[in-house]
A and B are shown apart, each in its own frame.
Chain A
């Protein structure tokens, strides 16, 4: 008879095996991407699959910068993602304070309008937005994307969910001590809501970075393109330079990976609150 501790250890070992298998299945596409980025184009699609390249083609990572304006695409993506995330977090956290810590008539009705638009698919109002931007001569500029994506209702919702977990006694006490609401927001709520701020910033950054349809519709000049649009250039009508696509894909994932790993502790705690209070 195995003792209880032995059985637990055996159970854990089985669990690790299961988790490792799961990990392989989930991450295999990335491994394949990475290995293909170091191959000749011809070797990407050989049967059976070469998981480890026969001759390592490190030059892919040098050549991509001259084959397409990769640096420019990265800079465009970064600019959009940083500006939009900053505005989302700033106006979102400010509005969320109004929706959670100040009581005034009409507040809840207004919040429902915000919530309702989260359920409306973007495509449903994409056309009026596009006409507005066209009339304002903002299509084919970064302004169109910044204005459309910087004031997200989801951001307000996410921040508000987090603020609801901060007890009202805290803000009441600060009010009695003579702090104004703006002071409470800046000095008490913001420092306390780091996980929510981080997760909203990261989610917005990642969504903007990975957005395809927005830039696809609004940005027609090559010099304004983001990484997502730029990568498609390697796909021709009848053939594609797969090795280069994979190299570009790896490069396009690196910034997101770095930011995610830096903030993941806060990030996961922050997203987690959004689903708690259905």
Chain B
């Protein structure tokens, strides 16, 4: 009897274990979802569904008055012949090409400079972070006035330094975009500096000591210890920075309203104009899709690059 009972118990346990596991897993699933649900409901309704809807809308013709109609790729062929779209696309890319590397370089430089134990260093960090949190409209207006071609302090300084014909900045079709880029770099660098500072503090100090023992100079230390140690942070910064550059709107809109002419018109503003102002929901969704695909491709490219470096 005793032997069989052991066998029975063993087999019973073997039978019950998966059942118990399944019940536990179901319980965990319920608990997990109960935590996520309050946020997920809002997220699904106001982000996920609109994202999917935008995808569908870009293949439809729909304005505020007529019912939506499937028109296939017609929106995209129209886009290809829309000079405003090409201007906005070009400006968006140029903005990103200026904004991303400049912000990256400056925020990393500031982080390296401010990553030391020094009396009052916290004050300097906070001060450099401050532009990031200050009122957007205020910043846009102040920089507009600083950039004023005839009365602004920037051109007064340039003239003083011997520049004969200082740029017209926001009133010039060539210089408006650089002016906007300068302002946005100034505004954003503090935020990314904080991220880099955190990354620097996570690099183990022993690595620097080991490098010093090996006789490495400052440049070697930076290249062989700091740069690899900062890789995850740099990747994160690069992705966030690129995404935010491609969706820039507020600052440019308040500074120049896309002008002069279409010199600073970016894709976001075009989406706003065609969609919200002109009620061409389908057409403007097609522009959104182009913007989305561009950001996605760049993000995936950065991700691949990051993974390859790690191997």
Contacts and interface: CB of A to CB of B under 8 A. Distances in A.
B232 interface: yes
Interface stretch (A45-53, A56-64, A166-174): A45-53
B29 A104 contact: yes
Given A95-B40, A277-B232, A231 B198 contact: no
A113 interface: yes
B133 interface: yes
Given A127-B281, A212-B136, A256-B133, A249 B54 contact: no
A44 interface: yes
B180 to A, nearest CB: 15
Given A26-B128, A151-B42, A249-B135, A125 B141 contact: no
Given A12-B118, A122-B247, A123-B249, A181 B138 contact: no
Interface string A233-272: 0010000001001101110110011001100100010011
A124 B136 CA distance: 22
Interface string B124-165: 111111110111111101110110101101001000000000
B233 interface: yes
A213 B249 contact: yes
A128 B137 contact: no
B127 to A, nearest CB: 5
Nearest to A100: B35
A273 B133 CA distance: 19
B238 to A, nearest CB: 10
B308 to A, nearest CB: 14
B89 to A, nearest CB: 13
A121 B135 contact: no
A22 B128 contact: yes
Contact of A156 (B39, B49, B235, B237): B39
A260 B133 contact: yes
Nearest to B268: A123
B195 A275 contact: yes
A76 interface: no
B291 A274 contact: no
Given A23-B124, A278-B235, A46 B151 contact: yes
A188 interface: no
Contacts of A129: 46, 50
Interface residues of A, number: 95
Given A125-B50, A278-B231, A33 B138 contact: yes
A86 interface: no
A29 B142 contact: yes
Contacts of A102: 28, 31-32, 35
Interface in B25-39: 25, 28-29, 31-36, 38-39
Contacts of A47: 150-151, 156
B155 to A, nearest CB: 9
A119 to B, nearest CB: 5
Nearest to B140: A212
Nearest to A133: B46
Contacts of A151: 39, 41-43, 46-47
Interface in A200-244: 206, 209-213, 217, 227-228, 231-232, 235, 242
Contacts of A248: 138
Contacts of A46: 151
Interface of B: 25, 28-29, 31-36, 38-43, 45-51, 53-54, 57, 110, 113-114, 116, 118, 124-131, 133-139, 141-143, 145-146, 148, 150-151, 153, 156, 186, 191, 194-199, 201-202, 231-233, 235-237, 239, 243, 246-247, 249-250, 253-254, 267-268, 271-272, 275-276, 281, 284-285, 288-289, 291-292, 295-296, 299, 306
Given A147-B45, A151-B47, 15 more contacts: A16-B118, A19-B113, A19-B114, A22-B110, A27-B130, A30-B130, A33-B142, A91-B39, A94-B38, A117-B51, A121-B292, A125-B47, A127-B288, A185-B35, A249-B135
Interface of A: 12, 15-16, 18-19, 22-23, 26-27, 29-30, 32-33, 36, 44-49, 90-92, 94-95, 97-99, 102-107, 110, 113-114, 117-132, 147-148, 150-151, 153, 156, 181, 185, 206, 209-213, 217, 227-228, 231-232, 235, 242, 245-246, 248-250, 252-253, 256-257, 260-261, 264, 268, 271-278
29 contacts: A26-B186, A29-B143, A32-B146, A45-B145, A98-B31, A104-B32, A106-B29, A121-B246, A123-B291, A127-B285, A128-B57, A132-B46, A150-B42, A151-B39, A151-B41, A156-B43, A181-B31, A209-B135, A210-B136, A211-B250, A212-B253, A212-B254, A213-B253, A252-B137, A264-B126, A272-B194, A272-B198, A275-B195, A278-B306
